[in-house]
Amino acid sequence: MKKITILCLILNSSILFGQNLVPNPSFEYHTRCPFDTTSFPSGFLLLAYPWQNPSTVGNGDSSPDLFDTCSTNVGFSVPNNAWGNEYPHTGNAYSGIYCYYKWILSREYIQVQLIDSLQKKTPYCVEFYVSLADVSTYAANNIGAYFSVDAISMTGYSNLPYIPQVINSNNNLLINKHGWKKVSGSFIANGGEKYITIGNFNDDPSTDTIFVDSTGWDGGIAYYYIDDVSIMDCRDTTGIENYQNSSTINIYPNPTSDILTIVTPIQSTIQISNIQGQLIKTLITTGTKTNNDVSSLPSGVYIVEVKTDKGVAVKKFVKE
């Protein structure tokens, strides 16, 4: 009862301050420690309420895992467990799923209902952290997050047939077996989405795999630990109207679907990057007002960095 009360207070705090919409984002709160596998054939993840397993197989072949320092089962303890050795990104716990299996098409996913539904035409910033388990012989770089109005499920072991709104960047190789790698992105909500599902939604031929080493299991797996999942309104987290840098620098309209106007001092350098920090375009100003066509950019949040002789100012805009 005490843990449930604490969880309710945390959820209410998130609502009040408009922060993370993911409940129990780092899997810290659970009904008991993971140690008796026979009682949870669908995976220990179910202990970390309200996280759930979208697979309806439930026979242990598709069973997302939960690892915690409190576990007396060495297979699910932290930092040492049956899949490797890794400390949590934060706290005492993390989850784990299969994202690739060389010999058989097999996937695992984790899913949770958000604290509140997403709002139409609102930009959301998403991030979570992954670490490739030591037993893995392969890395799978296509891990993503799919948002849906209703909970989704599967009856087999294959990939879920959905296109995630947020997917790991091709340049962000998820090959680290020590430490954590951030998967992040942004998207414009259609409105009403209330569930997030995380995993590899690609089939085997379209999965970007990398052979890591031969020290893992012979099955040729890519197994990932997952921690610290978050989704926030980008306007709250990134400060789209961030005027504290300079009152002489402005961008409009914001959001925009085609032309972005950037007002700067005459001699300035403008750099536009995506939310992952990848440089998209560099502009040298010839006047105080620069019009930039962003119609070809995917929907999401972008960073505008203006460099002048007085320093650097940073703005953010939403591409609809």
- Share the mean pLDDT of the chain: 83
Q: Look-up: residue for tokens 């539904």?
A: 117
Rounded to an integer, what distance in angstroms lies between the CA atom of residue 308 and that of residue 313?
8
E strand intervals along 160-244: 166-167, 181-188, 195-200, 209-211, 221-233
How crowded is residue 265: how many other Cβ atoms within 10 Å of its Cβ?
16
Q: Do residues 60 and 83 make contact, with C-beta atoms less than 8 angstroms apart?
A: no
pLDDT tens string 285-306: 888 889 999 999 988 888 888 8
pLDDT of residue 174: 95
Q: Which residue has the higher pLDDT, 155 or 89?
A: 89
Buried b (16+ CB within 10 A) or exposed e, 89-112: bebebbbbbbbbbeeeebbbbbbb
If you average pLDDT over each of 3-12, 116-125, 248-257, 264-273, which comes out highest?
Answer: 116-125
User: Would you tell me which CATH number, out of the four given (3.40.50.800, 3.30.420.40, 3.30.470.20, 2.60.120.260), belongs to the domain 2-236?
Assistant: 2.60.120.260
- As given in the structure block, the two tokens for residue 287 are 């006047």
Of 1-10, 68-77, 225-234, which gets the smallest average pLDDT? 1-10
pLDDT above 50 (res 273): yes
What is the rounded (10 degree) CA torsion for 95, 221, 170, 201? Answer: -70
Domain boundaries, the chain: 2-236, 238-319
Indicate the pLDDT class of residue 39, thresholds 50, 70 and 90. low
Closest of 296, 305, 284 to residue 258, by C-alpha = 296
Same fold, 2-236 and 238-319: no
d(CA 285, CA 309): 13
Return the CATH class of domain 238-319. Answer: mainly beta
pLDDT tens column, 122-180: 999 999 999 999 999 999 999 999 999 999 987 777 889 999 999 998 889 999 999 99
Per DSSP (E only), the strands in the chain are 65-68, 80-81, 84-85, 93-101, 110-113, 123-132, 138-140, 143-148, 166-167, 181-188, 195-200, 209-211, 221-233, 250-252, 259-263, 269-274, 279-284, 289-293, 300-308, 311-319
Cα Rg of the chain (Å, integer): 21
Contact 285, 268 (CB under 8 A): yes
